[in-house]
Amino acid sequence: MIIKKLSATIAAAAIALFSQAFIASAQYKLPEAHDNQHKELLAAQRPIAADIKLINTVKFIEDLRSDDILDNEVFSEYWESQLVNPYTGATIPDTKELDVSSYVSPLENIRVTSNFGYRPRFRRVHKGIDLGLHVGDTVRAAFDGKVRICRYERRGYGYYVVIRHDNGMETVYGHLSKFIAKPNDRVKAGDPIALGGNTGRSTGPHLHFETRYMGIAINPASIIDFENKTPFNGTFTFDRALHDKAQTTTVKKSTKRRVRSTASKSRARRKK
Ligand SMILES: [Zn+2]
């Protein structure tokens, strides 16, 4: 596809060059008055031709970006999975700069009802942020991307959507009432993807919204100023050690693999 487009562009450029050369050489053989008339006509035409060529080039690059390059890089690896975290076994970088500048609020009206983090009552980490809504409210894609999953999970997310974004992140939208988008749909930030609801493990209508990078949940409120519907910065620095720790607190506690603090070590020694 790229080769076809490229060769078409080269052919068009070659034709343009040849015809210009032909016109230029023909001009010298014409009488002066006629020649000047031609020059004026050509001068008047040139900007129009240049404009058309520019638009074609921009469109060509846009097509290339959306169809080929992005699909190859971000949307091929770990794509064919129905897991919310498909990145098992992947090498996750220590840090990564993520472009979050295209953010659009997933909901029109923002009301944070529950924050990201460890919930002692349930002894687990809440890997997203909860945003109150009315059943049927439009839920929108937070960034440009491609829909990976539209599924139902009775005990958890209810009806949920996972979108992978051009910046390599994934967002999860849970407890929905109806899908608008379907898997493999290309979406722009702000495109409607579903209607909000109260499905799955939910105690009231809300959107459970997660932001992840390579499967690791990031506190959405560290990227996005929800009330003001804008990212804090155009880029967000993913820090694997920091974000990994934030989402596995409970697992480490329950399996007793957590590195003991100096205080608890000395306490343990005293008991012996
Ligand atoms: Zn939630």
Rounded Cα gap, residues 23 and 28, in angstroms:
9
Mean pLDDT of 238-260: 64
Residue of 197, 210, 71, 222 whose CA lies nearest to 138? 197
CATH class of domain segment(s) 95-254? mainly beta
219 phi and psi, to 5 degrees?
-60, 115
What is the 266 CA–ligand 1 centroid distance (Å)? 38
Picking from 40-49, 79-88, 240-249, which range would have the lowest pLDDT averaged per residue? 40-49
Mean pLDDT of 22-51: 62
Evaluate if residue 231 carries a pLDDT over 60: yes
What is the 129 CA–ligand 1 centroid distance (Å)? 5
Rounded Cα gap, residues 11 and 56, in angstroms:
14
- Tokens 């603090």: give the residue: 261
What is the 114 CA–ligand 1 centroid distance (Å)? 7
pLDDT band at 33 (very low <50, low <70, confident <90, very high): confident
Rounded Cα gap, residues 160 and 176, in angstroms:
6
Q: Domain coordinates of the chain in residue numbers? A: 2-73, 95-254
At 249 the pLDDT is: 56
Q: 49 versus 75: which is more confidently predicted?
A: 75
Percent of the chain exceeding pLDDT 70 equals 68
Percent of the chain exceeding pLDDT 90 equals 59
Mean pLDDT of 27-51: 65
What is the 209 CA–ligand 1 centroid distance (Å)? 7
Rounded Cα gap, residues 212 and 264, in angstroms:
33
Evaluate if residue 22 carries a pLDDT over 80: no
Residue of 199, 222, 190 whose CA lies nearest to 133? 199
Q: 224 versus 257: which is more confidently predicted?
A: 224
Kindly write down the DSSP assignment for every residue of 93-120, as one continuous string: PSEEEEE-TT---SSSS--EEE-SEEET
User: pLDDT tens across 165-216, in order?
Assistant: 999 999 999 999 999 999 999 999 999 999 999 999 999 999 999 999 999 9
pLDDT band at 152 (very low <50, low <70, confident <90, very high): very high
At 129 the pLDDT is: 98
